Structure 1
Amino acid sequence: MDQSYSFRLGYVAMSVMLSNASPSQTMTVKQFEQIPDRDAAVRKLERIAISNLQNCLRIIKHNKAHQISFFRLSSKLVPLANHPLTEGWKYEKALAPFLKELGDFIKQEEMRVGFHPDHFVVLNNRSKDILQQSLRTLMMHYKLLKGMGISPIHRCVLHVGGKKEGREAGLEQFIENFSMIPRPIQEMIMLENDDMNYPLEDVLYLGEKLHIPVVFDLHHYDVLHESSDLLSLWKRVVLTWKDSPLPIKMHVSSPKEGKNDRAHHDFIDEQRLYEFLRLIEGTVEHLDIMIEAKQKDASLLRLTEALSDMEGVHVRNPSSIYMMNRVLS
């Protein structure tokens, strides 16, 4: 088999194929405050978090059954963990056996997992309060990974943030704030191009300057970019991963309606992905592709089947797909 490179597919946080398996059950601040006994309220949070972790393990085992070894964990596993109301709550100790069980299975099956904290985690804001809240949230992710026994290095994807003061100022503020972040949190971060504020060129500027791996998002690039020379930009993306212990990672989604729609479709446009996979031949040996589609695992399995019909694609399973070298006449 004269292969060019291999890749595997992953999906995000929840399964649409499993019933009653949400890893993102929560409690609102109002519900927490309505319980007069704070200790009782915290115990309820722990019960919800344990249920989330058990459901996450169910999903991971479901993934194993379908030979899926790449998965994004929900950032909502532990509700209100980073809220001021729960300050002092040692959730990582209360959840230790459940985190260990989850982590042990992930490591046993040699799966790649990570997080993508929500848009409230912003590292380029001038506000010290916003920065501190973002760091609290990142510390929660760090503690969860440590509790699972999984190396935190390059496990959290972030966007650059807002551009209220302009793109240039936003980039420089990111650099300044990043220098104040504890080293273990710095090492946890990857940066992704977005579809509103910071195109791939900006993210590469930060990734190259600060030695942060860049997660390329194809949909975001299609919606927002400056250079149409995607191959040159991609080669720069690859170089940002040269010191990472993990394979190069990218995101793929498809517009819901129309070419430039930012909303995500239920499924993936396999033709657009195939075009990209052909474009980057010869630049990588392996690639991890995270699917961001509304139909989650169903979308992944549908895409796997579609790719198997593409010229030069050899599919063994979702974690073992090969692009074959083109025969040039």
Structure 2
Amino acid sequence: MTIVRLGYVAMSMELKNASPSKTMTFAAFQKIADREAAIRKLERIALTNLENTHRLLKHNAFSEVHFYRMTSRLIPLANHEAILDWDYMKPLKEKLSEIGDFASKHNMRLDFHPDHFVVLNTSDLEVLKNSLKTLKMHYLLLKGMKIDPTHRCVLHVGGNYNDTEQSLERFIENWMDVPRGIQKMIMLENDDTSFTLDDTLYLCEKLGIPLVFDYHHHLAHHQNINWEENWDRVVATWKDSTLPIKMHISSPKSETEYRHHSNYVDVNMFFNFLNEIKGTVPEIHCMIEAKKKDEALFTLMEEIRHRDDVEIIDGSSFSLK
């Protein structure tokens, strides 16, 4: 038997006025004559984002959703070169602790997926430095929530730079400069244009990194369409993790825009995957990457309820018969 738990990304379509990604541009920051007042405003925005994150977790608990990806935009202008003296963690300490306590009480898996500008296989030392700075912020946020940062941050391999082999080797070289605590935080995902499942497996197996399999990305970009042949290897990358294996699920917007995510998840496409992996793992957590966020999750669960090859556990979980 395999238990399947669904999650969603960052925003709720049902909970109003709860954006966890409110921001402030540096241009707006500069327009505030009193620098301390400008920093206090940044802190108020960050606290609003954390309060809305807490509201989203309460919404998840009520809806029996146990898996949630937090936005990486919780703290506006964090690590901006002009305000590196700002200790953004200090005013957030109490709220971060509340969020972590709530997630722990309700047995929620929380994680991050930093933006595309976090690139570990870059040849530009400044880009690498800024990437590590951003990853450190994620590490500190998780620690502030009293969440073990291990395997909580999924990344793409990075840029291809028109040379897949060299780009993979550069990732390995740069990995040696990544602090151990941040290394342990990272999972890698196959993408839809540059690095296939085979490419990503190469790195994950060599460096001991869990692989987050993105089924939609694989269908859009692969060397070998038969991902099932490598599934045991994907599972093995999670052997040292205390967390259940994680994957991403989404559906193409259309045949002509195949790489773009649809509003919802095609239940038949999803079960094409699930029927192949049934029984291979005791539990799998599936992050829905769909435009309609939690609405896509609830819609998918409603369709799944009508199937006779599952047993419903709760609002976001089921087992495969």
Task: Please classify the TM superposition score into its range, dividing by the shorter chain length.
Answer: over 0.9
Deviation at 1:307, TM superposition (A): 1.4
Instruction: Tell me the residue number matched to 1:167.
Output: 164
Instruction: Tell me the residue number matched to 2:141.
Output: 144
1:44 is the counterpart of 2:4: no
Instruction: Tell me the residue number matched to 2:283.
Output: 286
1:189 is the counterpart of 2:186: yes
Deviation at 1:313, TM superposition (A): 1.3
Contact 2:121 2:167 in 1 (8 A): yes
Deviation at 1:259, TM superposition (A): 6.9
Contact 1:208 1:240 in 2 (8 A): yes
Q: How does 1:221-300 map to 2 (within 5 A)?
A: 221-258=218-255, 261-300=258-297
1:67 is the counterpart of 2:39: no
Counterpart Cα distance in 2 of 1:88 and 1:233: 47
Contact 2:301 2:316 in 1 (8 A): no
Aligned CA RMSD, in angstroms, stands at: 1.0
Deviation at 1:320, TM superposition (A): 2.9
Instruction: Tell me the residue number matched to 1:83.
Output: 80
Give identity over the alignment, percent. 52
Instruction: Tell me the residue number matched to 1:305.
Output: 302
Counterpart Cα distance in 2 of 1:165 and 1:182: 28
Match of 1:101 among 98, 104, 115: 98
What is the letter of the counterpart of residue 86 of structure 2? W
Instruction: Tell me the residue number matched to 2:213.
Output: 216
What is the letter of the counterpart of residue 90 of structure 2? K
1:177 is the counterpart of 2:179: no
Match of 2:151 among 131, 150, 154: 154
Long gaps (5+) in structure 1: 325-329
Instruction: Tell me the residue number matched to 2:196.
Output: 199
Deviation at 1:248, TM superposition (A): 0.1
1:119 is the counterpart of 2:116: yes
Equivalent position SS for 2:89: helix
What is the letter of the counterpart of residue 191 of structure 1? L
CA shift digits 1:57-116 (9 cap, x unpaired): 000000000000100001011111121122021111111011111111011111000000
Counterpart Cα distance in 2 of 1:319 and 1:64: 11
Deviation at 1:262, TM superposition (A): 1.0
Equivalent position SS for 2:144: helix
Deviation at 1:20, TM superposition (A): 0.4
Counterpart Cα distance in 2 of 1:14 and 1:207: 30
Scaled by the length of structure 1, the TM-score of the pair is 0.96
1:314 is the counterpart of 2:308: no
Instruction: Tell me the residue number matched to 1:23.
Output: 20
Runs of 4+ in structure 1 displaced over 4 angstroms? none
CA shift digits 1:265-319 (9 cap, x unpaired): 1100110000110011221110000000011111000001111222311112244
What is the letter of the counterpart of residue 273 of structure 2? F
Scaled by the length of structure 2, the TM-score of the pair is 0.98
CA shift digits 1:186-206 (9 cap, x unpaired): 000000000010011000000
What is the letter of the counterpart of residue 233 of structure 1? N
CA shift digits 1:133-177 (9 cap, x unpaired): 000000000010011110000000000000115100100000000
Deviation at 1:260, TM superposition (A): 6.0
Counterpart Cα distance in 2 of 1:259 and 1:289: 25
What is the letter of the counterpart of residue 248 of structure 1? I
Equivalent position SS for 1:91: coil
Long gaps (5+) in structure 2: none
Equivalent position SS for 1:11: strand
Counterpart Cα distance in 2 of 1:313 and 1:259: 33
Equivalent position SS for 1:315: strand
CA shift digits 1:210-260 (9 cap, x unpaired): 000000001100100111221122211100000001110000011111176
Contact 1:9 1:318 in 2 (8 A): no
